[in-house]
Amino acid sequence: MKRSQAPLGNSPAKKARARSDHNHDSSHGPSVWVEIPTRPRNSIAPLRTHYVPVGDELPEDDELVVPGESVPDVDDGEDDDVPIRMLENFAVFDRTTFEFVPVSRLLMEAPSEDWVGAGFVRSVSKDSVDSDDDEDSDFPLVQLSSILEFSVHWVEKNGRSYSLDENVYLLTEHAWYILGSPSSSYAPHYKSFRAHHGLFHILFSCLAEMPNASADKLLNHLPSQLKERHGAHPLCSSVSREALTSQPFVAYLTTVLTIWWEARDQRQQLFQRVVRSPLVKHLYPSLPEAFPATDAAEQATVVTPRVGAIAQKLFSQPLRVVQMSEGVRNVPCQAVPIWPVHKGDPQVIEWGKGTEDPHVFKSVVLDGTTYSAGDVVIVDAGEDERAKRAKHAVSASAWCKNNLATKKWFCKINYFFEKYEPRLGWQKLFHAQWLQHGSQTFLQEAAHSRALFWLNECEDLQVECIYSHCNLQPWPPGEAEPLEDDDGPENLFFTGLTLNDTDHSFIHLSTQEIEQALSYCTDELRPCIPCGLDALEAMQEQCIPLESGGVTCRGIDYHVNDFVYHHNSGGNLLHIGQVVEFSDLSCEEPMVQVRRFGRYDHVVKDKAIPSDNRRLFMTDVIISVKMKAVEGKAFVACPSSPWQREQWVKADDHFYCDLFAKSLTPQSLEILQPTALVHCNQCYAAVLEEATEEELLLKTSSKLRGLELFAGAGGLSTGLDLSGFVETRWAVELSESACKTFQANHQSSLVYNQNTSTLLQHVVDTAEGHHPRPLVSKTGTNLPPMPQRGEVDFIYGGPPCQSFSQINHNKKIDDPRSTLACNMISYVEFYRPMYFLLENVRGILNAPTDGQPRDQPLDKNICMGVVKFILRSLTALGYQVHFRILQAGQYGTPQGRQRVIFLGARCDIPLPQFPTPQHDYPKSVQAKNLPDGGVLYPYLRPTGCGQACVSLPAITTEEAIGDLPKFDWKNPHLVIARSRQDVQKGQARLAEGIICVEAVPSPSRSLTGFPTPVAYPQPPLSRFQSWVRGDSDIVTYHYTRRWSPAVVERVVNVPIQPGANHADLPKILQIPCWLNPDGSSKSAYTTVYGRIDNDGCFMTALTTLAPNQKGGKVIHPTQNRIITIREAARAQGFPDSYQFLSIHDLPNRCLDDQARQIGNAVPVPLAAALGKEIGKSLVRLQKQGRDQEKVARLHSPELA
């Protein structure tokens, strides 16, 4: 029989992955019939009620291979998505009784765990769809696992248009299945459903296209639509008023529309669009415009008023705005004057007030209107020298309803001056600092129509370009921006924050920073903040001799005997040296003589000897280095005791040196006497003073009181708390298992097993005096009240990232989870904390929204809409904010994991910087192009010259897990018989201390390895191992799940060599469809059965540890097994004492819970690095307070 191509429709649901290169039309082609062999039929066959197994159905499990099915590359760490497959000649039945289950029951009821499907399975890839092979045996006959979800009439939205997916879908644990044609025995149980499904699809597809068309027009249009789409389809003759109003179809329609109403996504939006249409009103007059609220429908994301006002313009998802009478005030705009405008060159230009300099003036008069230094003016738009910014300024995304914002520019007059031009004579000019309208910045569509931001850019302009005065109201630091006002005058704007266009940060320049910038202006009659900042930057780039000896360069003072980093021509890892002498300081390229210090780990290669990446040895090697190659200071000491040594190296850039060698490649190392190591006394004292200040702050001030939202297992809280500056007092998490884990490891924290919307509603209602019911958890237990206003100093968390994850190939622009960032920032509006931190996957940078801000006339999505919302809402609340992509591997995590971090601070608090990358992780962060033409570059050393230089090597897999008990899986020899060589190899590995354990399923045990705690077999072999061990003396969770014999046999046969995978298996164990013709792995499968590199790093941590699936590079580097739960936890930097709990009793489900908690966590070392930067901000804040107190005392009459 000829196999016909069945076009693939769009995926129906949030977890399905449609292959990006196969977006075919969703209508079905000719059906594919492959009859399951059954008993011979009589001429009149009775209706069959039960499924008759053939006997050779394959089980749907991890071992199922579907020819042609591709596996996507994984680079983001979230793996909640599954493949899409076709299920042909199918039946749905109860696996205990084999009784057929009509598909209509799946629509009406929640699937039973005993309901399964069976049929021929094929992939949706081109290889399988386009095949012309006549043999039905190409497709495996499969009995599916339990049906988890049923989906019909999925709605896709593109701008303001909607389309319906005609496919019918089943979801199991392993895949989404598109239902093709039923088997002949099951067809009678599917027939009526399919007829109703087809009628509904055509009816609502037409309504989606023409919701306002008359009833008669649409009724006449439906048959032609059916004929056009389906040719001689039986439905063509069945479309009639009677069919559309028959009781069975009305029941079907009501059921589907109820599902749409409760969906809180584009299905609900389409429902609201068509339910009022003339045809629906005509055919179904009793159909309600809204169905009764259910638990699902009531869970619209809760937001606070000001955040909600912004979110509702950027998101189409339903939001519930909670009413607040206090919190962020809306300061009304003051009355403004109406200024004359200069539509052409002024007729009369006269200088006003002069200054001591005859060519510098304080004011000018244009046609009778006076403009003075300090005024903000509107000027005619010119030509922006930055081509990309100029291009995006006139794009549709930068459109604003305020014509002045679109057509004019804004600047502040710093001073007026005149300048003689040979051919033109004396020209009247003014020096201006630019402001930029929000719509012209990265915010684009999300910007307030009256918001201007200061730029650190200035320019000389002719006075003739002045258009008019600008009514600009400086906004008080920390105050929220005014609400949008469509009725106010066009010439009315406000400003407060400065936009640093180089790193896309919104900051508040303090009085001290402004005074410092102005102090660098060479002429006090020509003050300009951007000029001063440029002068300061230029001065710091120079190498200037110091009066006390030494040199200052890039803002750092260097002296003889200082320890410095300098470039390594062979890579990013910096060399360390000690300054011996400066030379050629008067030349363009000053030089410095440095004594080289070697790294202990570079010369001691024996893995049985503990490594230490903070240990150095002094040498007699002295070299000349250009000052421009110096990359900041290192700090080296020779502590006299182990305790002092460990205290010293806790800080970044701190090393210790207790060894000596004549060269950098010695055969042996000598003990260095502490007196042989000298320092620059001045700089060493400054370092000790800084450490003392930090210690004093921790002793005298309470830690920041932290509230974590979407806390998961607690990786972020653990790292922040380890920094010493944060104490997580409250945590919110929806998963019951994750809550148990968090509480077990943060026993002093209050943990709320509840969704964040419910808690926000409750705390606001409580503050408003509404006396809501007591809080209860998702399991019904009582919860303590949420903290009150004024009790929370720091809010942090990572909203669920599945809607942004790069491996989710079926992202929906209106995924309800995308609005959880709105909910999180609403907590900021209510609590007004000092600091805010939001983390998420890199995919959030690509997440659009589909609202229609500022009455935009265009029907389009908002590029990077989620990021724009986060920045806009935080600045609207009066917060400084910046964001970067950070690579966890650069901060001491032994794996690659990119995270986007948003850091915010109130305007009265120094904005924390991002932590400086410390470790030489091999994969660098790639820059990200932004919608306004800017680029978000990786965060580099702030004292460097633009290169990705770091001070420490990456943490390798060996350093992370090399000290844990060793074990192999036992080879089941399912395919390859056991040989004498296998026996000898097993004995040799046992002699090395590697035991062999059963790994195939066992009736008595489900976990293998060390299911119970076990002692460490040896002391720690690296600084990382010492750190994660802490005070623990036992290893827990050092086990894996058991796998089928086929999986185990493949795992143990993967060669023990870095990067080995399924392509390196013995030929008899290989899976041909994963291989290229030359025997190499297809690019999509390179990680399947992949072995980790012992001298490299882990892949991004996944939420499952499956060797035979995508991201399956989880085989231990030197042992024949996959990594254990404890090893996965170490890959994320969790301490060995950390417990991972579950609400489940079955071992496998418990293990899956543990893996999911670990994989979803923020790496602990990255969180700790962020916490240290928060601490540095607190230290700066404390210094500012002391300085202000000193100034106040000096000017106090009582103390005079």
- Per-residue exposure over 822-840, b if at least 16 CB sit within 10 Å of its own CB, e if not: bbbbbbbbbbbbbbbbbbb
Has residue 1149 got a pLDDT over 50? yes
**Model confidence over 785-836: pLDDT tens digits?**
999 999 999 999 999 855 444 444 344 545 556 789 999 999 999 999 999 9
Which residues 6+ apart lie within 8 Å of 667 measured at CB?
none
- Please check whether residue 435 is in contact with residue 480, taking contact to mean a CB–CB distance below 8 angstroms: no
Q: What is the pLDDT of residue 923?
A: 85
pLDDT at position 36: 39
Helices marked H in 902-956: none
Tell me what pLDDT residue 946 has. Answer: 61
Q: Minimum mean pLDDT among 539-543, 725-729, 813-817, 899-903: which range? A: 813-817
Q: Alpha-carbon distance 712 to 707, whole Å?
A: 13
- Residues 558-584 as b/e (b if ≥16 CB within 10 A, e otherwise) read bbebbbbbbbeeeebbbbbbbbeebee
Per-residue pLDDT tens for 654-673?
Answer: 999 999 999 999 999 999 99
Q: What's the chain's Rg over C-alpha atoms?
A: 34
CATH of the domain at 832: 3.40.50.150
> Which range, 41-45, 113-117, 483-487, 828-832, has the best average confidence (pLDDT)?
828-832
946-980: per-residue pLDDT in tens?
677 899 999 999 999 999 999 999 999 999 999 99
| Residue 231 domain-assigned (yes or no) | yes
Active-site residue (options: 470, 531, 801, 822): 801
On whether residue 493 sits in a domain, the answer given is yes
**398 shares a domain with 497:** yes
| Amino acid identity, position 836 | F
Q: Average pLDDT for residues 589-609, to the nearest whole number? A: 91
* Among candidate residues 475, 502, 535, the one where a domain is terminated: 535
Question: Which one has a higher pLDDT value, 1062 or 240?
Answer: 1062
- Tell me, what's the pLDDT at 710? 96
Residues 620 and 748 in one domain: no
pLDDT classification of 18: cutoffs 50, 70, 90: very low
pLDDT at residue 43 tops 50: no
Tell me the C-alpha to C-alpha distance, in Å, between residue 1093 and each of 612, 1100, 1119: 20, 13, 12
Give the tens place of pLDDT for each residue, 1104-1113: 888 987 777 9
Predicted pLDDT of residue 580: 95
Q: Do residues 912 and 1039 both lie within one domain?
A: no
Cα–Cα separations (whole angstroms), residue 465 to 393, 422, 493, 761, 1003: 19, 21, 20, 52, 86
Residue 949 within any structural domain of the chain: no
CB under 8 Å, gap of 24 or more: what pairs does 548-552 form? Answer: 548/682, 550/582, 551/582, 551/585, 551/590, 551/592, 551/627
Task: Looking at the structure, tell me whether residues 515 and 569 fall in a common domain.
Answer: no
**What pLDDT score was predicted for residue 63?**
72
Nearest to 976 by CA among 1080, 1060, 1050, 1063: 1050
Other beta carbons within 10 Å of 396: 12
| Minimum mean pLDDT range among 363-377, 505-519, 803-817 | 803-817
If we measure between CA atoms, which residue out of 56, 23, 228 comes closest to residue 129? 23
Is residue 928 a part of any domain in this protein?
no
Which residue in this structure is represented by tokens 């470790």? 919
The confidence score (pLDDT) of residue 58 equals 84
Q: Are residues 27 and 118 in the same domain?
A: yes
For 294-318, how does the pLDDT look when each residue is reduced to its tens digit (9 = 90+)? 444 456 899 999 999 999 999 888 8
Instruction: Give the least confident one: 549-563, 792-806, 862-876, 1142-1156.
Output: 792-806
Strands, DSSP E only, in 661-749?
670-671, 704-709, 726-732
Q: Give the Cα separation of 89 and 190 in Å (integer).
A: 12
Mean pLDDT lowest for which of 11-20, 264-273, 416-425, 976-985?
Answer: 11-20
Q: Which helix (H) or strand (E) holds 451?
A: strand 451-462
Q: How confident is the model at residue 19 (pLDDT cuts 50, 70, 90)?
A: very low
Q: What is the average pLDDT across 431-445?
A: 94
Q: Check whether residue 227 and residue 256 sit in a common domain.
A: yes
Pair 739, 764 in one domain: yes
Q: Looking at residue 501, what is its pLDDT?
A: 86
Q: What is the pLDDT of residue 1026?
A: 96
CATH number at residue 998: 3.90.120.10
- State the pLDDT at residue 815: 56
Using CB atoms within 10 Å of the CB of residue 557, give its burial: 0 to 12 exposed, 13 to 18 middle, 19+ buried.
middle
Asked if 280 and 180 sit in the same domain, the reply is no
Beta bridge partners of 505: 500
Which tens digits make up the pLDDT trace of 127-140? Answer: 443 344 444 446 88
How many domains are there within the chain? 6
- Per-residue confidence (pLDDT) for residue 223, from 0 to 100: 67
409 falls within a domain: yes
**Amino acid present at 623:** I
Look at residue 318 and tell me if it is in a domain: no
Q: Which helix (H) or strand (E) holds 1129?
A: helix 1125-1131
Residue 211 and residue 180 share a domain: no
* pLDDT tops 80 at residue 226: no
Closest CA to 867 of 455, 506, 330: 506
Distance, in Å, from the CA atom of 911 to the CA atom of 1196, rounded to the nearest integer, reads: 30
Mean pLDDT of 904-911: 94
Tokens of 176: 């989404």
The pairs formed by 510-516 with CB atoms below 8 angstroms and a separation of 24 or more are: 510/1184, 512/1184
The CA–CA distances, whole Å, from 856 to 391, 399, 494, 853, 875 equal 19, 7, 22, 6, 22
Alpha helices for 606-650 (secondary structure H): 642-648
Helices (H), 384-507: 387-393, 403-407
How far apart CA 828 and CA 307 sit, in angstroms, is 9
Of the listed ranges 149-163, 852-866, 888-902, the one predicted with least confidence? 852-866
Q: What pLDDT score does 293 carry?
A: 53
Joined together, the tokens standing for residue 1029 give 């061990």
Instruction: Give me the mean pLDDT over the 4-29 stretch.
Output: 36
1014, with CB counted inside 10 A (0-12, 13-18, 19+), is middle
- Of 180, 274, 283, nearest in space to 239 by CA: 283
- Return the pLDDT at 859: 53
The amino acid occupying position 266 is: Q
Q: What is the pLDDT of residues 378-419, one digit of tens each?
A: 999 988 888 888 888 888 888 888 999 989 999 999 999 999
Convert the pLDDT of each residue in 1087-1098 to its tens digit.
Answer: 999 999 999 999
Q: Is the pLDDT of residue 42 over 80?
A: no
Per-residue DSSP letter, 379: E
Report how far apart the first and last C-alpha atoms of the chain are (Å, whole number). 104
pLDDT value for 700: 77
Region 548-574 average pLDDT: 88
What are the CA-CA distances from residue 513 to residues 107, 506, 903, 1047 (Å)?
64, 15, 20, 63
Same domain, 727 and 635: no
Question: What is the pLDDT at residue 136?
Answer: 45
| Coil, helix or strand at residue 640 | coil
- The least confident of 651-660, 884-893, 1094-1103 is 1094-1103
How many angstroms separate the CA atoms of 124 and 32, rounded? 14
Eight-state DSSP code of residue 272: H
Are 1053 and 905 contained in the same domain? no
Domain assignment of residue 87, given as a range = 1-38+45-185
Give the pLDDT band of residue 204 (cuts 50, 70, 90).
Answer: confident
In a domain, 325, yes or no: no
The predicted structure's pLDDT at residue 70: 62
Inform me whether the pLDDT recorded for 220 exceeds 80. Answer: no
With a cut of 60, say whether residue 711 has pLDDT above it.
Answer: yes
Say yes or no: 779 and 742 in one domain: yes
Residue 21 scores a pLDDT above 90: no
CA nearest to 1021, candidates 650, 606, 642, 598:
606
Q: Estimate to the nearest angstrom the gap between the alpha carbon of 648 and the chain centroid.
A: 34
Interhelix angle 736-745/1147-1159, nearest 10 degrees? 70
- For the chain, the average pLDDT equals 86
Kindly report the CATH number assigned to the domain that includes residue 390: 2.30.30.490
- Listed residue (219, 210, 320) closest to 273, CA to CA: 210
Structure confidence at residue 1190 (pLDDT): 72
343, part of any domain: no
How far apart, in whole angstroms, are the C-alpha atoms of residue 239 and residue 29?
Answer: 21
Please tell me whether residue 443 adopts helix, strand or coil conformation. coil
Q: CA distances (Å), 4 to each of 7, 37, 128, 180, in order?
A: 10, 21, 11, 12
- What number is the average pLDDT over the span 994-1018? 91
Task: From 630, 632, 512, 530, select the one nearest 582 (Cα to Cα).
Answer: 630
**Could you say which of 166, 185, 204 is where a domain stops?**
185
Active site residue 801: yes
The pLDDT assigned to 217 comes to: 73
Residue 229's pLDDT is what?
53
